[in-house]
Copies of this chain bind each other. A is one copy, B any other.
Amino acid sequence: MVRTFYRLQRQVELSLTGHGLTLPQFDVLATLGSDEGITQQELAGRLLVTKGNVCGVLDRLSMMGWVERRPDPDDGRANRIHLTAAGRKKLAEVMPEHHALVLKMTLPLSDADVKVLRSMLEALDRAIEPEP
């Protein structure tokens, strides 16, 4: 089961490589796409990675000009992470192919199965550290 997960993910990773993105980088962009303005700590929690590592990923993403750190007006220590216009464009560029790949990978399943799969994964996702 885990091996299948890994293979599916490698497939996604290989596709992202063609866009000059790594999986963690894509994950950050996609997360910001739905939850812009979160802090680096929150981002670290989502990715299940330490804040130190998020820092490095953000360094690379901001060097590419896709994200920017804006100081939190209410907390001098915190940053709020935002997509730049270029980042939004990049995400819009990658997403269609990404969706096409997911669609292709789930082709052996019926539409109903995919729906079930999706709702299962959402249930599993919610179960991951709900009370940190």
Are B105 and A4 in contact, with the CB atoms below 8 A? no
Q: How many copies does the complex hold?
A: 2
What CA separation (Å) do A9 and B49 show in the bound complex? 12
Q: Which of A72-106 contact B (CB under 8 A)?
A: 98, 102, 105-106
Are B108 and A4 in contact, with the CB atoms below 8 A? no
Question: Contact mask A111-132 → B, CB, 8 Å, 1/0?
Answer: 0010011101111111110000
Q: Which residues of chain B are near A102, meaning CB under 8 Å? A: 1-2
Are B107 and A127 in contact, with the CB atoms below 8 A? yes
- Closest chain-B Cβ to A99's Cβ sits at a distance in Å of 10
CB closest residue in chain B, given A49: B10
Q: Which of A13-34 contact B (CB under 8 A)?
A: 14, 23, 26-27, 30-31
A127 interface neighbour in B27, B46, B108, Cβ under 8 Å: B108
Are B126 and A5 in contact, with the CB atoms below 8 A? no
What CA separation (Å) do A102 and B6 show in the bound complex? 14
CB closest residue in chain B, given A14: B48
Q: A10-B48, A105-B124, A113-B116 are in contact. List 13 more A-B contacts (CB 8 A).
A: A1-B102, A1-B118, A2-B9, A2-B12, A3-B27, A4-B121, A4-B122, A6-B47, A10-B47, A108-B126, A109-B123, A113-B120, A117-B120
